[in-house]
């Protein structure tokens, strides 16, 4: 089976594209299978991802964007690397933990000089650590037969969508207002949406022995408990002292100050590649790091629309994750 894509046709898609200064020249498609929005050029890479050779000792991290991926990557990398805090402060997380479809998410001009992230994921020394935002139907088929460990992290869609807006403003200088972007998000015309595809499918898989379901909200509420749960899942043990070291290293303040986790260098080079100046100092990847804050940013009308949309999408699914 190969991956195909229908050109995305929606009045809001044009508005969104203009917000990105029409940088995604080839436009967007709705993938089949998967049914998510991706840049048209994703179709060039999709088959390689589906056919990606999976190893039993890989650790995969899957999320919808802006759900606590980087936070979890740092935790998993440390657990898998004997808590090597020194290297964790020296080498950027993007090099220690590979984002498989990254090259497919970039506008064409940026993609031209970008590394082949699928090959980088293949070539990593084992145990390989691989991140993806793709839903099950677009992930490597061997994940479902080889069954390596997979960690899924969910975050409230309101917070993830708002974080996604500020990320797009930071990286692409998107010219839409927050509410305009959120309207596109609800309409499912933003890259990787619909939000529910990945979240509900992994919710249904959450009791598989090789799958761990974590949430951003749990990490905020009791990071220590999530560290212990994740360590046990990965077959690692941590002493009380190590737990405290991890909590300190993984705090929002520490990760924001750490060049290897705050993504400032990566984002700067992305902006430069599309001709944007360095971001204003108040715009950073490590932005607020809070729960429920999005509701304060969006208009009351958008708040109500999100609430209705959440209820419509979880009705009858048994979903009990963060909303
Ligand atoms: S990405 O680009 O999809 O991988 O982004 P992702 O890492 O999933 O999400 C970025 C948001 O996670 C917040 N973050 C944290 N919050 C609390 N504590 C720690 N240590 C932490 N690290 C990252 C980051 O600030 C983004 O959320 P917002 O709401 O924008 O602040």
Structure tokens at 109: 């001009």
Which residues are the active-site residues?
133
Is the entire prediction scored with pTM above 0.85? yes
Domain assignment of residue 11, yes or no: no
Residue 286 Cα to ligand 1 midpoint, Å, equals 6
Domain assignment of residue 33, yes or no: no
What CA–CA distance (Å, rounded) separates 291 from 60?
25
Contacts of 53 (CB under 8 A, 6+ apart): 122, 140, 142
What CA–CA distance (Å, rounded) separates 88 from 3?
36
Structure tokens at 161: 């969508």
Domain assignment of residue 272, yes or no: yes
The length of the chain in residues reads 323
What CA–CA distance (Å, rounded) separates 160 from 154?
9
User: Which atom of ligand 1 is the closest one to the Cα of 220?
Assistant: 17
The total of structural domains in the chain comes to 1
99: β partners: 131
CATH code (residue 71): 3.40.50.300
Please report, in tens digits, the pLDDT of each residue of the chain (323 residues total).
789 999 999 999 999 999 999 989 899 999 999 999 999 999 999 999 999 999 999 999 999 999 999 999 999 999 999 999 999 999 999 999 999 999 989 888 788 778 999 999 999 999 999 999 999 999 999 999 999 999 999 999 999 999 999 999 999 999 999 999 999 999 999 999 999 999 999 999 999 999 999 999 999 999 999 999 999 999 999 999 999 999 999 999 999 999 999 999 989 988 988 889 999 988 999 999 999 999 999 999 999 999 999 999 999 999 999 99
pLDDT in tens, 33-72: 999 999 999 999 999 999 999 999 999 999 999 999 999 9
Domain assignment of residue 321, yes or no: no
Domain assignment of residue 32, yes or no: no
Nearest CA residue ID for atom 15, ligand 1: 289
How far from chain centre, in Å, is Cα 30? Answer: 18
Residues in contact with ligand 1 (CB, 6 Å cut-off):
63, 65-71, 159, 163, 166, 250, 252, 255, 286-289
Q: How many CA atoms lie within 13 A of 304 on its CB side?
A: 2
Domain assignment of residue 22, yes or no: no
Domain of 272? 52-314
Domain assignment of residue 38, yes or no: no
User: Which atom of ligand 1 is the closest one to the Cα of 261?
Assistant: 22
């Amino acid at each position: 089976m190969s991956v195909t894509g229908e050109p995305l046709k929606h009045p809001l898609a044009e508005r969104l594209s203009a917000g990105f200064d029409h940088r995604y020249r080839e436009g967007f498609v709705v993938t089949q299978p998967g049914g998510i929005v991706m840049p048209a050029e994703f179709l060039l890479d999709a088959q390689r991802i589906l056919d990606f050779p999976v190893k039993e000792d890989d650790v995969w991290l899957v999320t919808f964007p802006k759900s606590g991926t980087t936070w979890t990557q740092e935790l998993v990398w440390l657990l898998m690397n004997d808590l090597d805090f020194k290297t964790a402060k020296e080498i950027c997380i993007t090099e220690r933990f590979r984002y498989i479809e990254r090259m497919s998410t970039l506008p064409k001009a940026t993609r031209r000089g970008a590394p082949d992230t699928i090959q980088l994921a293949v070539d990593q020394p084992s145990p390989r650590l691989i991140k993806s935002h793709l839903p099950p139907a677009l992930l490597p088929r061997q994940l479902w037969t080889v069954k390596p460990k997979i960690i899924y992290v969910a975050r409230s869609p309101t917070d993830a969508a708002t974080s996604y807006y500020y990320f797009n403003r930071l990286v692409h200088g998107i010219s839409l207002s927050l509410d305009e972007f959120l309207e596109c998000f609800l309409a499912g015309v933003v890259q990787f949406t619909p939000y529910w595809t990945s979240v509900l499918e992994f919710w249904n898989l959450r009791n598989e022995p090789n799958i761990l379901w974590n949430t951003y909200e749990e990490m905020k509420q009791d990071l220590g408990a999530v560290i212990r749960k994740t360590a046990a899942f990965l077959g690692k043990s941590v002493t009380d002292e190590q737990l405290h070291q991890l909590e300190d290293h993984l705090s929002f303040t520490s990760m924001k100050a750490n060049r290897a986790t705050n993504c400032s260098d990566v984002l700067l080079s992305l902006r430069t590649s599309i001709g944007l100046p360095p971001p204003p100092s108040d715009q950073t990847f490590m932005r607020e790091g809070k729960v429920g804050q999005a509701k304060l940013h969006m208009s009351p009308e958008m708040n109500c629309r999100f609430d209705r949309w959440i209820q419509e999408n979880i009705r009858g699914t048994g979903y009990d994750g963060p909303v």
